[in-house]
């Protein structure tokens, strides 16, 4: 919070004749911002608690309790009070917190079950669901801006947080910041040290990855980080190989689960730090400015039992791990308008009632808690016709729980079976917006594929920045854990490129075959 404190001090020092009042106002502002992590965590947990019990972790018939991870993306809005002229005015209001998107879950679809028409959500980790819901909100807010001046009679008036900037792009208004809350450290590089300290070597030895190397021992608490080893030739699978810090990792699932091509939450958050939260579909159009991730509040950072460390020192080390994972790996990745900026990393001690440690403490004699197979998505801003709040979605295998599941195919699920967060539904909402604000492309909007809209010609600044971060898309034979997949899509430095190696070279992607569908659900081959 240091940078905010300095700005606050400079602001009040400009008030004429403030005298001692300047220090009073500064102290008040500092206190209000210091309370922000707890307030964000509490707002997130309260939003979750208010949801119905169905879809949340429970205790199974065999006595095994379940747990999950909660994540939200919220706006933090300044109050607009910029000056204080009298002591009576020294009642600065705390920044307003507006939850936008909530997600829970720890599941991901294996590559073999990816849908070619985008009608199932690939990655159902809480952080990813929260971000996909945030993208839906960005599209909705842009629609409100586009519709300004033509209000619908008797329609509920919604607060607009987005505006057109001087370049004509959609961007957040001044004073609106975006914060991510997660009830546990993000999977992947940010939680490598933490996981090593809380996981037995027996559990770690179950994991294998694309490299034929023996499991490495857990790092020692006497060192700030595991001793660095040479970077692996490709991403690591699972939670093993603790000494390979700053490595790309895929979502693990169970050690014996089919392999996925979904990168870890740490890797994805780091890419958001470079490219923004708006994503490729919105970013490639040039209609959106980069949406910064301003801060993160992380819970569940428990000091390992038996560790001879003060809590403050443990927290400092964990913070260093998180900053390395989400920022330092990409800190030098500057490309035109896409410049990485370190989010404000904060921790909270508020327990999430369905976290693994909390559930374990409630059931000390029960078997080890297991992750819930279900995920939740809740968009508190989304209203049904008539202004009635929408219901939360319960997801299983990337689709709505109550809908009949089908194997991936070229016939889309019925609307009631599709999550509003799947690529198909996001494409539909996005295309609906584009139809109102810009001319149709050759062939019309009905024939524009998800892939086409992400990769327009000429190559936009967003895609150039993405290529500099990951490399160019290439087809490669699967190796190690991914050998059974045959050919797959990865990224590699462009041939003939004289620039630096992409820091996230080797990033696995689903590729064009899974994004060549239109808003009508038709797959365009070729």
Residue 503 has pLDDT above 80, yes or no: yes
pLDDT value of position 334 = 81
Determine what percent of the chain is predicted with pLDDT higher than 90. 63
Mean pLDDT value of segment 16-37: 57
Mean pLDDT value of segment 389-417: 90
Q: Are 134 and 420 in contact (CB under 8 A)?
A: no
DSSP codes of every residue in 150-205: -PPTTPPPPP--EEE-TTS-EEEPTTEEEEEEESSPPSSGGGHHHHHHHS-HHHHT
- Which bin fits 188, alpha (ψ -120 to 50), beta or left (φ > 0)? left
The token duo for 505 is: 């070279």
Give backbone dihedrals phi and psi of 135, rounded to 5 degrees, phi first. Answer: -65, -40
Cα separation of 132 and 502, whole Å?
A: 25
pLDDT value of position 17 = 37
Q: Are 484 and 475 in contact (CB under 8 A)?
A: no
Cα separation of 214 and 223, whole Å?
A: 22
- CA 147 to chain centroid: 29
Share the mean pLDDT of the chain.
84
Q: Are 198 and 218 in contact (CB under 8 A)?
A: no
11 falls in which pLDDT band (50, 70, 90)? very low
pLDDT value of position 58 = 97
Q: Are 303 and 312 in contact (CB under 8 A)?
A: no
Which of the two residues, 20 and 411, has the higher pLDDT score? Answer: 411
151 falls in which pLDDT band (50, 70, 90)? very low
Determine what percent of the chain is predicted with pLDDT higher than 70. 81
Mean pLDDT value of segment 278-300: 96
pLDDT value of position 211 = 40
Mean pLDDT value of segment 134-142: 97
Tens digits of residue pLDDT in 217-257: 445 554 444 455 545 557 888 766 666 788 899 996 566 78
- Residue-range domain boundaries for the chain: 29-80+92-149+158-202+233-449
Residues sharing a CB contact under 8 Å with residue 139, sequence separation 6 or more, in sequence order: 282, 426, 429, 430, 433
Q: Are 273 and 340 in contact (CB under 8 A)?
A: yes
Which of the two residues, 442 and 44, has the higher pLDDT score? Answer: 44
Which of the two residues, 157 and 474, has the higher pLDDT score? Answer: 474
Residue 515 has pLDDT above 50, yes or no: yes
User: What's the whole-model pTM score?
Assistant: 0.88
Q: Are 146 and 437 in contact (CB under 8 A)?
A: yes
The DSSP letter of residue 287 is: S
Cα separation of 468 and 349, whole Å?
A: 38
Residue 93 has pLDDT above 90, yes or no: no
pLDDT value of position 347 = 96
Residue 120 has pLDDT above 50, yes or no: yes
pLDDT value of position 28 = 55
Tens digits of residue pLDDT in 438-480: 998 888 999 999 999 999 999 999 999 999 999 999 999 988 8
């Amino acid at each position: 919070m240091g940078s905010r404190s300095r700005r606050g001090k400079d602001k009040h020092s400009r008030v004429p004749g403030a005298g001692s009042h300047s220090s009073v106002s500064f102290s008040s502002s500092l206190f209000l911002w210091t309370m922000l992590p707890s307030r964000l965590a509490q707002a997130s947990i309260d939003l979750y608690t208010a949801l119905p019990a169905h879809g949340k972790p429970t205790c199974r018939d065999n006595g095994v309790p379940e747990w999950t991870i909660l994540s939200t993306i919220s706006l933090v809005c300044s109050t607009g009070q910029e000056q204080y002229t009298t002591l009576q005015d020294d009642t600065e209001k705390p920044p307003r917190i507006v939850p936008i998107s909530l997600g829970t879950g720890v599941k991901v679809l294996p590559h073999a079950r990816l849908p070619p028409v985008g009608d199932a959500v690939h990655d159902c980790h809480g952080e990813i669901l929260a971000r996909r819901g945030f993208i839906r909100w960005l599209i909705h807010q842009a629609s409100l801006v586009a519709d300004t001046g033509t209000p619908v009679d008797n329609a509920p008036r919604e607060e607009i947080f987005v505006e057109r900037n001087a370049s004509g792009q959609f961007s957040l208004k001044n004073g609106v910041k975006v914060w991510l809350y997660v009830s546990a450290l993000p999977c992947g590089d940010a939680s490598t040290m933490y996981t090593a300290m809380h996981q037995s070597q027996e559990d770690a030895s179950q994991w294998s990855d694309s490299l034929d190397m023996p499991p490495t021992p857990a790092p020692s608490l006497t060192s700030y980080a595991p001793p660095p080893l040479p970077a692996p030739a490709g991403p690591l699978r699972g939670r093993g190989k603790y000494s390979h810090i700053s490595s790309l990792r895929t979502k693990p699932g169970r050690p014996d689960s089919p392999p996925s091509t979904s990168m870890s939450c740490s890797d994805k958050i780091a890419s958001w730090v470079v490219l923004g939260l708006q994503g490729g579909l919105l970013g490639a159009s040039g209609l959106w400015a980069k949406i910064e991730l301003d801060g993160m509040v992380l819970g569940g950072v428990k000091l390992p039992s038996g560790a001879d460390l003060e809590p403050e020192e443990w927290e400092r080390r964990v913070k260093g791990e998180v900053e390395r994972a989400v920022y330092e790996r990409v800190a030098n990745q500057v490309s035109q308008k896409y410049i990485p900026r370190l989010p404000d990393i904060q921790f909270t001690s508020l327990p999430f009632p369905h976290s693994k440690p909390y559930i374990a403490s409630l059931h000390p004699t029960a078997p080890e808690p297991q992750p819930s197979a279900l995920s939740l998505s809740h968009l508190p801003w989304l209203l049904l016709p008539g202004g009635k709040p929408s219901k939360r979605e319960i997801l299983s295998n990337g689709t709505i729980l109550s809908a009949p599941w089908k194997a991936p195919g070229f016939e889309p699920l019925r609307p009631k079976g599709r999550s509003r967060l799947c690529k198909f539904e996001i494409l539909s909402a996005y295309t609906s917006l584009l139809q109102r604000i810009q001319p149709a492309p050759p062939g019309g909007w009905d024939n524009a594929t998800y892939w086409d809209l992400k990769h327009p010609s000429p190559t936009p600044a967003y895609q150039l920045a993405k290529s500099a971060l990951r490399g160019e898309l290439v087809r490669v034979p699967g190796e190690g854990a991914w050998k059974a997949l045959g050919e797959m899509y990865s990224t590699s430095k462009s041939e003939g490129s004289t620039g630096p190696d992409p820091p996230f070279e080797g990033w696995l992607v689903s590729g064009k075959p899974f994004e060549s569908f239109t808003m009508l659900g038709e797959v365009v081959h070729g």
